[in-house]
Structure 1
Amino acid sequence: MSEASHPAGQFTELEHLASAADRLREIRHHIHHHPELAYEEVATAALVADKLEQWGWQVTRGVGRTGVVGTLKVGDGARSIGIRADMDALPIVEQTGLPYASGTHGKMHACGHDGHTTMLLGAAEHLAQTRRFSGTVHLYFQPAEESGIDSGAKKMIEDGLFERFPCDAVFGVHNHPGAEPGVFLFRKGPFMSAGDKAIITIEGVGGHAARPQLTVDPVVVAASIVMALQTIVSRNVDPSQPAVVTVGSMHAGTANNVISSTARLELSVRSFSPEIRALLKKRIVELAESQAQSYGAKALVEYIEGYPVVVNSDAETEFAIEVARELVGDDKVVAQTGILMGSEDFAFMLQQRPGTFLRIGNGVGEDACMVHNPHYDFNDRNLTVGAAYWTRLVERYLGQ
């Protein structure tokens, strides 16, 4: 597409990216077929970097270990903008049966990061061709969003992301099963929860299954702790405050005739305020230790604080909403959607710069398979929509 494709004063429209649909689909399917876990995104990062260089972007590799930053400066504008896409996959065995399904057993793009990366690549190509802005664009292709701890956003920031590639505002997107493709969802203020992890190790006394009186059974202790944990949100947290405590993993023993010496629980903990976050930690530790003690066992609790709350700034969110309305119309924009109990390490970037994290619908009904599911797939209908949105956002932000 040439400069002539955009009449003077006109910003990018959906139809301007229509010719890129097949090309973007091919890129997305390639990334999907070659998934890489956190900090293993070597091939994905190389693909991103090579594409950006082909299109004339200045490329910096190895930011935050496997991250890539593309920079494009046009004109003499003093403003700068940053846009982030995540690249990592999940340790899930894919069951979609698609022709481009994961070629690596046990690894899968089950959260749509292949789509997020491809949408931003589509914008990168179009911006390089049209160059209808004045200022600097930084594209942050981030590793390890799924790590939960020591995440890619945090690692890139520690590697000097905003000092080396500064921006006045930063933006990011995630797909959203449950809304139609091409529908944009926004929220000012707190949007996605803080996400913490707790590991409870129960130390009992193992022995023969036929002589339980000579043991302290950690399985029974673990079961008691699991049930006790259910009272934290229902009985300790103010009902008007959102909070989640989920026991996602429970392990003990190796044989039916052996009472194990230890058991292990892993918890996912979500909250929206520092006070509730502190309360959840306090009660989890107290309940685990006291329940174990009541059985003559011991509970050791390792509590790991993960991602902070995603807090979108008002001005940047309002601007992003305005751009979406211009691109897709009022009927495909939700200006103040509900809070989400999922967590997102883009929150670290929003602690450093004003900006917004938005969502784009991935399908409803039969097409609304949840993320982190072996049957999930990113909706290719979003590729050109997302690319057009990022392009127009840059043109508008660096054209004001």
Structure 2
Amino acid sequence: MPQAISIPDEIAAFNDEIVAIRRDIHQHPELGFEEVRTSALVAEKLESWGIEVHRNVGRTGVVGVLRAGGGNRSIGLRADMDALPLTEETGLPFASTSPGRFHGCGHDAHTAILLGAARYLAQTRNFEGTVVFVFQPAEEGLGGARAMIADGLFERFPVDEIYGLHNSTITPHGHVHVSPGPVQAGADFFDIVVTGTGGHAAHPHAARDPVVAAAALITALQSIISRHAPPRESAVLSVTSVNSNVSYNIIPETVHLRGTVRTLDGPLKARIAERIRAVAAGVAVGHDVRVEADVRDAVSPLVNSAEHAQAIADAARAVVGDESVTTDWRPSMGSEDFSEFLAHVPGAFFSLGHHGDIPLHSPRFFLDEGILPVGSALFSRLVEERLKPAG
């Protein structure tokens, strides 16, 4: 029988308010670098609990700083705030009021969880040192972590270690997954424009058809993974969009392709990017068209420190019990830009399971709010253990 989850009385007492905050954010979702309302709400709550607040870090990010005792060590805790460009189809009474914007990845819950931990730690102050609460914008592929780092995040708010979490529907409620080493893939995004000469579909010999060239390019791109990535290395290349003229009888001038590459190895990711450009150049010659390939480094692979993954596991066992902690997390080919923080500061990232079987990024995704106090308790326990008062 799994051990009962241990939630501090203080967190249980104000959990209804944390749930209300999450629903407010859910009802008013904002896309990356547009989190003006969300940031203001976060800052207001932090200030009301006596936490030092810094706004507009990395454009729309918020940083809270809480000090206690005389310790000189510091810990960073991070939550992301942005929504997805989706229209919600859950039918919830607090569903999104903005068509085309939806918290379909649970970032509203991550923000509420970190606010819950901030309130508890500000109330109890059972630690010695500094906690830096990082509320990050634009996690969904827009580079919010890099924006905060470029804005001097770690120079202005230095931390010795940093932690983050993500909700999960593939593990049971309250189950924590954390492991050392690579746990999330790095990502590149690519845009490719194939330009030929348009013409009448009945006379293709008089045109240089970019559609046929694009089709050949899509097929050729798949060979990069099968013939250039080592068999024991995980790598994925997906073309996710093909756009051209919509008429039946016109050969278009251009075709636009876009897609993504995911790998767990940084050097391999760079080699695949080189091959995309080389394959594109070869197709251009073979089909007598022009091909412009823009491949962009979006997110680095996420690699957990062994020490800090163990710290999460230890804290989690105290909150959710031994049977609800797994430390052999199989790497995911999904990406998470918390990796950018880990490139500068050691730390670890973990997943927290909850009820439900609808996957993330679905317009019908439904988050189990029962994990809100669990996540707050996990973050809080982590701080209290890592910044434990002497004696």
Asked if Structure 1 and Structure 2 have the same fold, meaning a TM-score greater than 0.5 normalized by the shorter chain, the answer is yes
The alpha carbon displacement at 1:20 in A equals 2.9
The two structures have a TM-score, normalised by structure 1, of 0.93
Query: Following the alignment from structure 1 to structure 2, what is the Cα–Cα distance between the partners of residues 311 and 133?
Result: 27
Does 2:157 match 1:168?
A: no
Counterpart of 2:34 in structure 1 is 40
Query: Following the alignment from structure 2 to structure 1, what is the Cα–Cα distance between the partners of residues 8 and 158?
Result: 31
Corresponding residue to 2:67 among 73, 79, 90 = 73
Does 2:256 match 1:267?
A: no
Equivalent positions of 1:46-57 (< 5 A) are 46-57=40-51
Counterpart code for 2:375: G
Query: Following the alignment from structure 1 to structure 2, what is the Cα–Cα distance between the partners of residues 62 and 234?
Result: 44
Counterpart of 2:270 in structure 1 is 278
Query: Following the alignment from structure 1 to structure 2, what is the Cα–Cα distance between the partners of residues 203 and 43?
Result: 42
Counterpart of 2:363 in structure 1 is 374
Counterpart code for 1:130: T
Counterpart of 1:114 in structure 2 is 108
Query: Following the alignment from structure 1 to structure 2, what is the Cα–Cα distance between the partners of residues 274 and 140?
Result: 25
Counterpart of 1:319 in structure 2 is 311
Does the CA-based 8 Å contact 2:354-2:371 persist in structure 1? yes
Does the CA-based 8 Å contact 1:362-1:368 persist in structure 2? no
Does 2:80 match 1:86?
A: yes
Q: SS of the counterpart of 1:103?
A: coil
- C-alpha offsets along residues 320-339 of structure 1, whole Å, 9 cap, x if unaligned? 11110111111110112100
The two structures have a TM-score, normalised by structure 2, of 0.95
Q: SS of the counterpart of 1:111?
A: coil
Q: SS of the counterpart of 1:116?
A: helix
Query: Following the alignment from structure 1 to structure 2, what is the Cα–Cα distance between the partners of residues 244 and 212?
Result: 34
- C-alpha offsets along residues 153-190 of structure 1, whole Å, 9 cap, x if unaligned? 11111111111111111011111221112111102011
Q: SS of the counterpart of 2:354?
A: strand
Q: SS of the counterpart of 2:343?
A: helix
The alpha carbon displacement at 1:277 in A equals 1.4
Does the CA-based 8 Å contact 2:177-2:327 persist in structure 1? yes
Counterpart of 2:246 in structure 1 is 254
Does the CA-based 8 Å contact 1:145-1:152 persist in structure 2? yes
Q: SS of the counterpart of 1:352?
A: coil
Counterpart of 2:353 in structure 1 is 361
Does the CA-based 8 Å contact 2:300-2:339 persist in structure 1? yes
Counterpart of 1:63 in structure 2 is 57
Query: Following the alignment from structure 2 to structure 1, what is the Cα–Cα distance between the partners of residues 64 and 274?
Result: 43
Counterpart of 1:131 in structure 2 is 125
Query: Following the alignment from structure 2 to structure 1, what is the Cα–Cα distance between the partners of residues 236 and 82?
Result: 25
- C-alpha offsets along residues 187-236 of structure 1, whole Å, 9 cap, x if unaligned? 20111111001111101111112222211221121112112222221222
Which deviates the most, 35-44 or 14-23?
14-23
Query: Following the alignment from structure 1 to structure 2, what is the Cα–Cα distance between the partners of residues 279 and 71?
Result: 40
Unaligned runs of 5+ in 2: none
Counterpart of 2:375 in structure 1 is 386
Does the CA-based 8 Å contact 1:204-1:216 persist in structure 2? yes
Counterpart code for 2:303: V
- C-alpha offsets along residues 53-112 of structure 1, whole Å, 9 cap, x if unaligned? 111111111111111111111111111111000001111111112111110011111111
Query: Following the alignment from structure 1 to structure 2, what is the Cα–Cα distance between the partners of residues 369 and 293?
Result: 45
- C-alpha offsets along residues 334-359 of structure 1, whole Å, 9 cap, x if unaligned? 11210011111111111111100111
Counterpart of 1:6 in structure 2 is none
Counterpart code for 1:206: G
Equivalent positions of 1:164-313 (< 5 A) are 164-313=156-305
Query: Following the alignment from structure 1 to structure 2, what is the Cα–Cα distance between the partners of residues 139 and 77?
Result: 17
Which deviates the most, 272-281 or 30-39?
272-281
Counterpart of 1:14 in structure 2 is 7
Does the CA-based 8 Å contact 1:13-1:392 persist in structure 2? no
Counterpart code for 2:77: I
Does the CA-based 8 Å contact 2:176-2:316 persist in structure 1? yes
RMSD between superposed Cα atoms in Å: 1.4
Query: Following the alignment from structure 1 to structure 2, what is the Cα–Cα distance between the partners of residues 120 and 183?
Result: 18
Q: SS of the counterpart of 1:145?
A: coil
Query: Following the alignment from structure 2 to structure 1, what is the Cα–Cα distance between the partners of residues 267 and 153?
Result: 30
Q: For this pair of structures, how many residues does the alignment match?
A: 384
Does 2:96 match 1:102?
A: yes
The alpha carbon displacement at 1:15 in A equals 4.7
**Identity over aligned pairs, percent:** 45
Unaligned runs of 5+ in 1: 1-11
Runs in 1 of length 4+ with deviation above 4 angstroms? none
Q: SS of the counterpart of 2:110?
A: helix
Does the CA-based 8 Å contact 1:55-1:128 persist in structure 2? yes
